[in-house]
Amino acid sequence: MPERKIRVLVAKPGLDGHDRGAKVIAAALRDAGMEVIYTGLHQTPEMIVAAAIQEDVDVVAMSILSGAHMTLFPRVNEMLREEGADHVLLTGGGIIPEEDMAELEGQGIGKLFGPGTPTSAAVEYIRTWFAENGRDRETAQS
């Protein structure tokens, strides 16, 4: 039986209109064999969590360039827990100072990536996390 693909939701929360990085990481994850759902721009935390649950994803990867990372990552993380989706990895990247990355990781957010990080680092991180923490989804039998 083949190993199931890792399902990743790539999200752009807030009012930031720059999505080049999100599209680059979405393509890299897809090229690495993952199933990728891209939400598009201007998503609210509620929209991101609803999409994550509806799409039954393993990972939510947010791209934040607006400076709102200390609000948006904790809010999405809290909402995932409230919805019983605490098995979902919340990770991402953007313009995030090192000290903020450390604080967010201390709050249970996954590894965060800054500008210039090779896409292969994010791919490897998600694969490693999934190998250690991924869950089995029920598959419909015909």
What CATH number was assigned to the domain covering residues 7-131?
A: 3.40.50.280
At 1-32, the pLDDT tens digits run 667 899 999 999 988 888 999 999 999 999 99
Domain positions in the chain are 7-131
pTM > 0.85:
yes
Q: What is the DSSP string of 19-69?
A: -HHHHHHHHHHHHTT-EEEE--SSB-HHHHHHHHHHTT-SEEEEEE-SS-H
At 66-124, the pLDDT tens digits run 999 999 999 999 999 999 999 999 999 999 999 999 999 999 999 999 999 999 999 99
Check pLDDT > 80 for residue 141: no
